[in-house]
Each structure stands twice: as C-alpha cells, then as structure tokens.
Structure 1
C-alpha cells in the first residue's frame, strides 16, 4: 500500500512538471496581439488547450505553407530568427503559420522540455490539420533551436505531409531523431553558435548519413543571427528554391 501511494504521488509530481506554463503563454499572446504588424492571429487547439498561431499569407497565390516553430520559452513572433523568417518567406512563395509551442517557467532548462514533447507534437499536428481544412499544403517545417528538436521528434514519430525540413541552430538532441528523417533537411548553423550546436556538427551529419538529401551549412552568425537577418533569410530561401 505504501508503495502504491508513493507511486501515485510520484505520478502526480510528474504530471505537474509536464504541464506547460499556460499563464506565460497568455502573457505572450497579449503582447504579440498588441504589437502584431504582419499577419493575423489564429487560435488552434491541442490537448484541450487553445494556443496562438500567426498566419501570414504569401504575396503570391499559393497553397504552399511553412509552419514555423520557435525555440525555448518564447513565442511565434519572436524578433530573433522567427519573425524575420515568418515574414520573409511570404515574399518567396510561401504562406507561413508560426505556432506557439509549450513553454515552461523561466528557470526550466532545455532538458526539462522533453516532458512536453508529446504536447508539442500535438500542436504541430493541430497546425497541419488547420492548413488541410483550409485547402493549404504543409510544405515545409522550419524550426529554431529547441524547436528543431521538437520538430524532428514529431517528424520521426508521426505520419506527416511535410516535404522538407529546415533546422536553424540544431542542438545535439536532434541526433536522436535525424536517423528517422527521409525528407530533405537543411541543417543551418552559425560559426559563433552555442556549444551544443557546434560540438554536435559531426554527430548530426553522422546521424543523417542515410538521408541523401541532408545538407549542412555553416554561415557567419551566432545562434540568434543577431544583425544577420539577411544571411538567415537568403540561406533558407536559396535552399528552398
């Protein structure tokens, strides 16, 4: 009996730790809606929870859409990497749908986010479903940093319609999932990137050795492409062409 009670208590603790910080997501949503310059807020639902996304139509008539996934603890209009890509890709033949991923409290390290990967999967799937219901095509999945790990986790474990994947600043955890990806992959990183990205360059390439359409490119930038938006946009755009 004591063992059963202990297990139940531990289970409750795990469940508590795997609940995203919805209050933080709400604060992000309010800030984004107040300052949104391009695109429209679209509310999606996964795991019985509504979450924010931003849909921005292409400048050309197309069904092709890029779903964009941000990194650790931020939001779908984050000024570094995410906002530049979600807007710029609309000038390159894509609609974009940038989605809010689960966030934890400010003290949570990247490893703690593994506990919400299943919920992240469901949010990406909800975005795919939204596009399909609106006669749009989920053509490419674009992700940054921790968002790239969430994205490769999804791509490795679920049937999906994506034809291409772009990972920007992919940390070492991607090594667990890259072997299962068969679609074309762009692994883009900076020569001044964070340690987890730079020390796993070879291991990521080794993990993806079975994928003939895996491309690894290093450019002159840091992890967040500070003052290098043009490099980011041009590199991703050139590969997508």
Structure 2
C-alpha cells in the first residue's frame, strides 16, 4: 500500500512539472494581451498649466468683459492681451503690464487692481500674457564642474527673453494702432525682470518704468539684473516689499546701480512698500495711488485739465521747514 502511494505521488509530481513547462512556453510565445496593447498605445496627456489658466481666464471674462480681450501675435504665435481704454477725456498714454511667472494677465495681486483702476486716471492699460519659465517641479541643475575656467557671461539673457521682447513690441504696435502715443512699462516679479531688461536693451527713454517686487531666474542672478538699472534712460519706480534679508540685499544692489547712472535727470524712486503688501481694497488703493502718482509726475502729460505743480516732487518731498 505504501509503495503504491509513493508511485502515485511521483507520477503526480512529474505531470505537474510538465504542465508548468507547457504554461511557461505558452506564455513566452503568446503576445501581450489585448488590454496591455491598448494601454501601451494610449497617448499620454501632458499637462498644459498655462494654456489651462489662459483658457479659464478667457472663459471668465468673455461674458461681461469680452471687449477687453485682444489676440496678439509675435513670432508666429498668438497670445492674450487684456486692454482697457482710458476712462477720461484727456488720455495720457498706455501702460503695458507683464505678470509674474505662472500667472496670467488678470492676476489678482498687483496686476488686476492696476489694470482696472489706472484707466480712471487717464491711462489705458494693456496686460499681456508672459510664457511660463519652467514647471513648478522642474529639478534644479547643478554644474558638475564649477571651476572649469570659463568666464561668466557678461550680460546673460533671461529665459524666454526674445519671446517676451517680441510680445512687448507687438503690444506697443497695438497701442499705437489705437491712437496712443505715450507708452509706459510695468512688471510684477519676473515680469519686472523682463520689463527692466527690455528698457535697458532697447535704450528706451522719455517714458516710465514701474518695477513691482522684482524677481529673477537663472542664469541671471539678482546682482546681474540690478546692473541693468545703470543703463536706463527713463524714470523708474522701484516698488518692493522688504520681507527678508535677501530682499534688502537685492534692493541695495538696485539702488547702487541707479547711483552709477550717467543720466541722473531721470528719476529713480525706490520704495519699501511692505505696509502696502495687503491684498485688500485699502492695500490695492494705496498701490494704485503710488503708481499713478509716479507716472503723473514723471511722464509727459498731455492736455491736462488741471495744471501740475511746477515743483518736481516725485511721490514725496521734504518740506523746507523740516
């Protein structure tokens, strides 16, 4: 009885091994299942955060503010612009606005309040779409050899600089086509870096430049960006929020570059506006007042219904009795 049991067990083991070999061979010879093939052939959908933001913005504005939407073109690519006419009988010019990285032309901080309120004070506004510099999770690349002997680039360009400059040129042309002769420039965060580089590279003069909380991106360091101020030939409002030691250092670098300008007739006004850094009606009102006050005192005013004071007092001035 025991011998029969052992023989049966050996036979069962042998058959099991044979079946396993057959299954392995079949699996190797059989192509992937239809479900696997279907998944491999499915096209991956890449996220497009900027296009999504812009599409959402256009959808939100199309109802009541569709007349503000402009489609501009630069380098063969369409981009969004939001235009608001001057709401007074004596228009002074137009302010071109550049938002920060991963923003849009109606960004609720800084951009939207100025875009909406400045037309009340005789200036039209044109806020243009600025391409994203990089993904939020883009890894930082570090050079493997820091001391390779290569001299650093003297005047490095910002990422997408050529594209942004072309968009500013297209925006200026649109403003000219609408009958405005005077153009001023404003940038927020990385938008301020583009506006600063544009004014310095083009030698822009007789207008105005508004820098709000300037930020930069590699390969342009904060020191490199600040040096562009030395080449400016137009009035500048440098409006920043002194929150950290880095903000303090960057502001000093910009002020030092302004002190080296050969053309000192154009005003350079730097303001630590930390008390204004509130995203509420009172903070936005103060921001608009500062920007408008600077532009009113430092641009060529046309057909003003009220005479400006002869004293050039910029935004503030010291009383002779102090």
- Whether the TM-score (by the shorter chain) exceeds 0.5 is yes
Paired residues, number:
218
Equivalent in 11, 35, 47 of residue 60 of structure 2: 35
Alignment-derived partner of residue 95 in structure 2: 66
In 1: Cα distance, 2:118 partner to 2:49 partner: 28
Distance 1:180 1:159, change over 3 A: closer
Asked if 1:54 corresponds to 2:82, the answer is yes
Distance 1:145 1:131, change over 3 A: same
Asked if 1:76 corresponds to 2:124, the answer is no
Radius of gyration: which is bigger?
Answer: 2
Give SS of 1:177's match: helix
Equivalent in 49, 52, 55 of residue 24 of structure 1: 49
In 2: Cα distance, 1:177 partner to 1:166 partner: 14
Give SS of 2:186's match: strand
Asked if 1:199 corresponds to 2:249, the answer is yes
Alignment-derived partner of residue 174 in structure 2: 130
1:108 is displaced (CA, Å) by 4.7
1:146-171 deviations in whole A, cap 9, x for unaligned? 11101111111125476000101124
Equivalent in 180, 190, 194 of residue 146 of structure 1: 190
Distance 1:197 1:180, change over 3 A: same
Which moved further from structure 2: 71-80 or 99-108?
Answer: 99-108
Alignment-derived partner of residue 124 in structure 2: 95
Alignment-derived partner of residue 217 in structure 1: 271
Which moved further from structure 2: 90-99 or 59-68?
Answer: 59-68
Give SS of 2:274's match: strand
Give SS of 1:105's match: coil
Unaligned runs of 5+ in 1: 1-20
TM-score, length of structure 2 as denominator length: 0.61
Give SS of 1:208's match: helix
Which structure has more strand as a fraction of its residues?
A: 1
Distance 1:22 1:139, change over 3 A: farther
Unaligned runs of 5+ in 2: 1-45, 142-156, 216-221, 297-322
- Contact 2:238–2:270 (Cα < 8 Å) also in 1: yes
